Amino acid sequence: MPVEIRKDYLVNLPRELERVIDHARQGQPPTRGQCEYLLALEPASIEAGVVRAAADAASRERFGNEAMLLGQIGIETAPCPGNCKFCVFGKEHTTFPTARLDRREILARAHGFADGDDLYALFLMTMHEFGFADLLDTVVAVRAEIPAHTQIVVNIGDFDAAQAVELRAAGVGGAYHVCRLREGVDTDLDPARRRRTFDVIGQAGLDFYYCCEPIGPEHTPAELVEQMFLGIEAGCFQHAAMRRVWLPGSPLANRGQVTELRLAQVVAVVTLAALGCPETKSIAVHEPNLLGLSAGANVVYAEAGANPRDKAADTSGHRGLDIAGCRKMLYESGFTALCRGDGTTVPLDLESLAPPETARIP
Ligand code: SF4
């Protein structure tokens, strides 16, 4: 159906939308009910465009038009007991063998991400079950290789308070953890157990990275709001939105995939809702894309190794965007500086995009 283009859009925004935008200008978040209203707008409508623009403006003001560059290494693959129906590693449908990057490969990838001196954090991702002692060894080895201004963050299965303390002592600065949309229905994991790990992360003093994911066409505004507010109520350091990637032959393939435009709408609502979360220091969009970065997101992740949304064993050069591509995307989105994990910033300009050998003409 063609999208209706109205000529009176500048003077006739719905009152509810005007209220949301007025509040956002004052740094006030929308209510849950207003978030549902915003998510029910047609993604290609003028109203949804206004929501994205309002979120973008609020985010740039809140974060000083600074962005964050993050990198993730999937260090292993195995048939995963989480059995998430949207993930290539779910034990009942995966075609991946059990495999692990060796230490040399992990360190080489860590250098590839961090050697530009502008990486905020390097994420180490495992399956839901993982070898804890081996992970600690990997953290210590990576910590010794990468600059102090780049943090290490883990994206692993559930863990307890003692393990959180050990992770922190080994040099971990944060953890990505999510109670996913339809957790326990589209996955074999216990939502309550997932949420308990939120508390463990906070109590250990680790930064809590959260995300509204994995978004599909079937998720209602009420479901999206319920799930995104779990992160806000837990004081997430980073909020985000990620769509479910269509994987032909996977258990949820028949549900399809939302567009990047719809994903940007969710990014915008997450951004506005997170105005009510003083702990939030950034908003991410997965996978990297320009629409999300003009709707409130100021973070993208470069990826290498295993990726739950990719049928390739190494996502770099496939679905995963490399670090140079992510840096350029942030630049093209108008961000002018990159934050590093120690609180310092570096400029994001044309010179920083140039490969080292052509950075300066003698
Ligand atoms: S999303 Fe994570 S927990 Fe779920 S099957 Fe994939 S690797 Fe396992």
For the chain, the residue count is: 362
**C-alpha angle 80/85/86, rounded to 5°?**
100
Confidence category of residue 3, pLDDT binned at 50, 70, 90: low
Contacts of 326 (CB under 8 A, 6+ apart): 69, 288, 300, 301, 302
Which ligand 1 atom sits closest to the C-alpha of 127? 7
Q: Evaluate if residue 74 carries a pLDDT over 90.
A: yes
Atom of ligand 1 nearest to the CA of 308: 6
**What is the per-residue pLDDT across 263-292, written as a single tens digit (0 to 9) for each?**
999 999 999 999 999 999 999 999 999 999
CA dist., res. 56 & res. 34, Å (int): 18
214 Cβ below 6 A of ligand 1:
no
Does 352 or 11 have the greater pLDDT score? 352
Work out the average pLDDT over 343-356: 89
CA of 176 to the centre of ligand 1 (A): 13
Q: Is 182 helix (H, G, I), strand (E, B) or coil?
A: coil
Query: How far apart (Å, rounded) are the C-alpha atoms in residues 230 and 99?
Result: 33
Q: Where are the beta strands (DSSP E) in 16-65?
A: none
- CB distance 52 to 294 below 8 Å: yes
Q: What is the mean pLDDT of residues 118-143?
A: 96
Confidence of residue 359 (pLDDT cuts 50, 70, 90): very low
- Which sequence spans correspond to the domains of the chain? 61-330
Contact 234, 254 (CB under 8 A): no
Average pLDDT of 311-328?
83
Q: Rounded CA gap, 181 and 219, in Å?
A: 8
pLDDT for the residue numbered 249: 84
Q: How many angstroms separate the alpha carbon of residue 48 from the centre of ligand 1?
A: 32
Per the CB < 8 A criterion, the answer to whether 312 and 96 are in contact is no
The class that CATH gives domain 61-330 is alpha beta
Query: Half-sphere exposure (CA, 13 Å, Cβ side) for 77?
Result: 22
Q: What is the mean pLDDT of residues 40-46?
A: 96
Using the predicted structure, report yes or no on whether residue 2 has a pLDDT greater than 60: yes
Q: Cα-atom radius of gyration of the chain, to the nearest Å?
A: 20
pTM value > 0.85: yes
Confidence of residue 57 (pLDDT cuts 50, 70, 90): very high
Ligand 1 and 128: CB distance under 6 A: yes
